Amino acid sequence: MMIEALIAVALVGAFVTFVAPNRIAGKLAFAISLIPAGLSLWMFSAFDGSGNALLDGELAFASEFEWIQFGEYSISWLVGLDGISMPLVVLTTILSSLAIVSSWTPIDERESQFYGLVLFIEANLIGVFAALDFFVWFIFWEAVLIPMYLLIGIWGGPRRKYAAIKFFVYTNVASLVMFGAFIALVFGLGDVTTFALPDVTTAMLNGGPDGFLGIGGTTLASLVFVAMFLGFAVKVPIVPFHTWLPDAHVEAPTPASVLLAGVLLKMGTYALLRFNFTMFPTEVIEPFVIPIAAIAVISVIYGAMLALAQTDLKRIVAYSSVSSMGYVILGLIAYTQFGVGGATFQMVSHGLISGLMFMAVGVIYNATHTRMVTDMSGMADRMPVAVGILVAGAFGYMGLPLMSGFFGEFTIFFGAFGAEGLAYSQVFTALAMFGIVIVAGYLLFALQRTVFGPYHLETDYDVDRAPLHDIAPMFVLLGLIILLGVAPELIFEMITDAVDPILETGGEL
C-alpha cells in the first residue's frame, strides 16, 4: 500500500493546503511534500522488483483490487512499480518538493490555491507512473492537465490564457486520439476482458487483435500504434507537435515550468515506452522504425536550431527540451539495452537538469523581472552563486561528463549506433549527435550575453544575491545530477533490468 500512501498524502496535503491560510501555505506544502519524497526514497532503497511491469515482472509495492464491473469488462485498481517507473516516481516527488520551495519567492498571491494545485499535480503524476490499469492510468493522466492548466492560466505571464488553453486543448485532443485507439485495441483483442496493461500486453504479444469494426487485426494494430504514437508525440513533444510547449513554458510560473519540463514531458516518453514499444510486437513496429528515427533526429536538430534563434531564456530552455526529447526517442527506437535504458535514464536526467535550468532562470527573473537575453548582461557580478549554478546547469545540459546528461546521451548514442533493427543507425546517430554542438552554441551564447560581460540591466530593479531558499533547491538538483553522472548504476541497473524483457519478447527488430 505504499503507492496508495504516496498518492494519498499528496492528495490530502493538497486539500489541507487549499484551505490553509496563504501565509503558511508555502511552508506547509513543502513540509507535506517531504513525506512522499522521503517515502519514495525509502521505497527506492527497498525496491525489490525485477523484470518489466507489463511482461510478467515482479512488481514492487503492487496492489490490486477490482473496482468497476460492466458487462464482461472489468476495471481494476492495479498499481505497482518496476525499474522503469521507480526512478520516475522518485524524480516526481523530489522535483515537486523543490518546485514548491522555488515558488516561495515568485508566488505572492492566492498561495494556498497554488501550492494545493502543485500537490495535486504531484499526486496524479505518481499515479501516472504507478498505475497499470488503463482506466486508472488514464484518469491520472488526464487529471494532471487540469491543475497545470490552472497554474499557467492563473499565475502565468501576460499571455497566460492563450498558453494555458493551447496547452490544455492540444494535449487533450491528443489524449482523446490515444484513448480511442486504445479502447478500439482492447475491443479488437476479443478475449481480453480487463484493461490491465499486463493482460493487454500478453494478448498483444500472443497473436494480437482479431479485428474491430471490420478492420483486420494486423491493420488495427498498426493503426492503433500510429494513433497512440501521435497521441503521445504531442505530450513529449516531438516535432511537429511541439508548438504548445514554448508558449506554455514562457507563460508558466517558474515552479510550473519545473514540473512541466521535469516530469510532464516524461509522461509522454514514458507512455511511448510502456505502450508503443512494449505492447506491440516487432512486426507492427518495424515499418515505422525509420520514420520514427528520422523524426527523432529532426526533433534534435530542429529543436536545437529553434533554441538558437530565441532571445527569451525560457524559450531557449523550452526548445532545448524538444531537442533533448529527440534523443530519448532515438534511444527508444534503437531497441537495444543501452538505447532504451539510456532513454529512460535520460528521462530522469533531463527532468533534473531542465528543472535546474528553469529554476536558475526563474531566480534571475525574480531579481530582474526580465528573461530577455538582450535586456541584461553581467549578472554574474551581482548574483555569483545563482549564476554559478546556472552555468553548471548549462554544462549539464550540454552533456558534460560526470553529470547525468552525459551518461544518458552517451548510452543513447552507443545504443543507437550499433542498433541492428535500425537501418542506417550509424547515420542517424551521427546526425543526432550533432545536437551536442548546437546545444553548446545556444547555451554558451546565452550565457555570454546575460551573465558575463559588464553589468547592465534594462529593467529598473536592484539586483542582489538570491535568498537561500531560492538557491538551496538548485544545489540539491546539482548534487543529484553529479551523483547520477558519477554513479549512474544507482538507477541504470534497475532500468536495464526492466528494459531487458522488452527486448527479449518484442525485441530483435
Partner 1 sequence: MEDVFNYAPAIALFPLVAFVVALTFGKYMPKKGALAGIIATGGSLALSVLMLVAVASGEVYHETLYQWAIGDAASEIGADGIEFTFGILIDPLAALMLVIVSLIAFLVHIFSLGYMNAEGETGLPRYYASLGLFTFSMLAFVYADNLLMAFMFFELVGLCSYLLIGFWFRTRSAPSAAKKAFLVTRFGDYFFLLGVVAIAATFGTVAFAGDNSFVAAAESAIDNGDTLFGFGAETWVTITALLVLGGVIGKSAQFPLHTWLPDAMEGPTTVSALIHAATMVAAGVYLVARMFGYYALSPTALAIIAFVGGFTALFAATMGVVKDDIKQVLAYSTISQYGYMMLGLGVGGYVAGVFHLMNHAFFKALLFLGAGAVIVLMHHEQDMWKMGGLKDKAPITYYTFLAGALALAGIIPFSGFWSKDEILYDALIVGLEEPVILAAYAMALVAVFFTGFYTFRMVFLTFHGEPRSEAAEDPHDIGWSIKAPLVVLGVLALVAGIANLAPVAKLAHIDITFLEHWLDGEYGAVEGLTYSAYGELLAFETAYIGGEQLTVLIAAGVSLLLAFSGAGLAWKLYSVPEPVAHKERLGGARQTLESNYYQDEYQVWLAEGFTQPLARAADRFDQTVIDGVVNSVSTASLFSSSRLKRIQTGLVTNYAALLVAGFIGLLLVLGYVGGWFL
Binding site for partner 1 (CB under 8 A): 166, 169-170, 239-240, 242-244, 302, 305-306, 308-310, 336-338, 341, 378, 380-381, 395, 398, 400-402, 406-407, 410-411, 413-415, 417-418, 420, 426, 429-430, 433-434, 436-437, 440-441, 444-445, 447-448, 451-455, 488-489, 492, 496, 500
Q: Nearest distance from residue 82's CB to partner 1, in Å?
A: 17
Tell me how many helices (H) and strands (E) the chain has.
23, 6
Q: Nearest distance from residue 397's CB to partner 1, in Å?
A: 13
Distance between CA atoms of 139 and 165, rounded to whole angstroms?
Answer: 20
Contact assessment for residue 194 and residue 271, using Cβ atoms and an 8 Å cutoff: no
Nearest to partner 1 of 19, 437 (CB atom):
437
Instruction: Tabulate helix, strand, coil % of the chain (nearest 5).
Output: 75, 5, 20
Contact assessment for residue 483 and residue 402, using Cβ atoms and an 8 Å cutoff: no
**Grid cell listed for 365:** 527573473
Helix (H) or strand (E) holding 74: strand 73-81
Nearest CA among 508, 497, 114 for reference residue 341: 497
Q: Nearest distance from residue 251's CB to partner 1, in Å?
A: 15
Nearest to partner 1 of 182, 406 (CB atom):
406
Contact assessment for residue 102 and residue 473, using Cβ atoms and an 8 Å cutoff: yes
Distances (CA, A) of 413 to 99, 215, 429, 431: 31, 38, 6, 10
Which residue type sits at 441? G
Nearest to partner 1 of 240, 287 (CB atom):
240
| Rg from Cα positions in the chain | 22
Nearest to partner 1 of 26, 415 (CB atom):
415
Q: Nearest distance from residue 341's CB to partner 1, in Å?
A: 7
Q: Hey, is 466 helix, strand or coil? A: coil
Distance between CA atoms of 370 and 397, rounded to whole angstroms?
Answer: 22
Nearest CA among 28, 17, 233 for reference residue 112: 17
Nearest to partner 1 of 196, 439 (CB atom):
439
Q: Nearest distance from residue 489's CB to partner 1, in Å?
A: 6
Nearest to partner 1 of 82, 500 (CB atom):
500
Nearest to partner 1 of 28, 347 (CB atom):
347
Q: Nearest distance from residue 77's CB to partner 1, in Å?
A: 35
Nearest CA among 311, 440, 445, 456 for reference residue 379: 456
Distance between CA atoms of 304 and 247, rounded to whole angstroms?
Answer: 16
Q: Nearest distance from residue 192's CB to partner 1, in Å?
A: 32
Q: Nearest distance from residue 143's CB to partner 1, in Å?
A: 23
Q: Nearest distance from residue 45's CB to partner 1, in Å?
A: 20
DSSP letter string over 222-267?
HHHHHHHHHHHHHHTT-TTS-THHHHHHHHS-HHHHHHIIIIIHHH
406 CB neighbour count, 10 Å cutoff: 19
Nearest to partner 1 of 146, 444 (CB atom):
444
Nearest to partner 1 of 25, 301 (CB atom):
301
DSSP state of 196: B
Q: Nearest distance from residue 184's CB to partner 1, in Å?
A: 23
Nearest to partner 1 of 218, 426 (CB atom):
426
Distance between CA atoms of 77 and 5, rounded to whole angstroms?
Answer: 14
